[in-house]
Amino acid sequence: MVRIEGANDVQRVHGGRAAHMADDSGGSLEEWGLLESDDNLHVPTSDDSWWTETVWFSWMVPERKILGYFYPAFRANLGVMFGNVLVTDASADLPWEIPFFEEFWHLKLPPDLDLRAATMENGMSLKCLEPGKVFEFAFRQRSLEIDLRYEALMKPLVTRGEPPFNHGCHIDQPGRVTGTMTLRGEVIPVDCLSMRDRSWGIRRDGRQPKVGYAYATVSEHSAFLSISVTDRSNQDLITTGFLMRDGKWSRLTSGTREVERDASGRPARIIICGTDEVGRTVEAIGTVASRQVFKCYPSMFCWNSLVEWDLDGRACWGEDQDIWHPEKWREYALDRRAQATNAL
């Protein structure tokens, strides 16, 4: 399935960046291009009201097809925060039908909030135990409690001012998540390999391109992340991401994401074919186990799916995020219904 071209230990300049191929399962923040202060809220670099900062942790219980999200977001120039916590499985995919969904809007942003040790009025809390590497996140409500710990497995992908993150910084980092989730009184152990991200910059509504975000993690030595944008010919082209193989981390520079959809247009099977900046190729094939509709911004509609992947011939878990502008999804859904009607 996978063909590797070239030597394993290579350093090559590609597009103005050095592709370092040493063992990248560890490293310092400085080596990663980050600061300790990046775990806290950033001072906005403009007075634009759309300056937005986000924190995202996901977790999974694959044997029960459970996927969970912890997602607070902050708009410092407006003095507000928002976000959501959710738990989905194969029983439903709409926010008002999945096992848990709670969304928070227009909460006052405390002036002294420090994300390295934060307790928020909506029941969310976050603590940084080791900068850029180890975090605890929790949530308390009547029907859901989570107490989870994230430990980074490898260096993050740091994207600054590149598609689709043109107006800020985005950090994507696989990690191990452990702890417990108590859903309607049932204590469910969590021990999985999942993803976190962080972003800060100007994020305006109304300009959402069609984006694909797919990842899978086998171990600290084997993982991939693919971020793609749909072009005018309706092809999903990889713009960035990474491949970790045998402990060697390198950015993805090209490739495609192909989505096979069910009768309702929902993602059912995903095929990622990519090439990294030192010439290694990867093909990953994923089958959707469960999914949910995620709509955290007015201009974003997303099918977020728990996916079982075949990566380098090994079964593992991850996600696929199928992101649309709502108007584009509406047009697509109307066209599918028209085609189905004409076929009768």
> Would you kindly state where each structural domain of the chain is located, as residue ranges?
12-25+49-343
pLDDT at 23: 59
| Total Cβ atoms within 10 A of residue 342 | 7
Helix (H, G, I), strand (E, B) or coil at 32: helix
Phi-psi region of 6 (alpha: psi -120 to 50; beta: other; left: phi over 0): left
Asked whether the beta carbons of 2 and 282 are under 8 A apart, the reply is yes
Q: Which residue has the tokens 């409500």?
A: 141
Asked whether the beta carbons of 17 and 277 are under 8 A apart, the reply is yes
Nearest to 58 by CA among 174, 156, 169: 174
pLDDT digits (tens, 9 = 90+) for 117-132: 999 999 999 999 999 9
pLDDT at 161: 82
Which ranges of the chain have pLDDT less than 50?
Answer: 1-22
pLDDT at 162: 80
With vertex at residue 57, the alpha carbon angle to CA 67 and CA 88, rounded to the nearest 5 degrees, is 20
Q: Which residue has the tokens 């974003």?
A: 300
pLDDT at 17: 36
What is the DSSP-derived secondary structure letter of residue 90? T
CA distances from 16 to 12, 19, 159, 240, 277 (A): 10, 10, 14, 14, 11
CA distances from 63 to 67, 84, 92, 132 (A): 11, 24, 16, 29
pLDDT at 148: 98
pLDDT at 266: 97
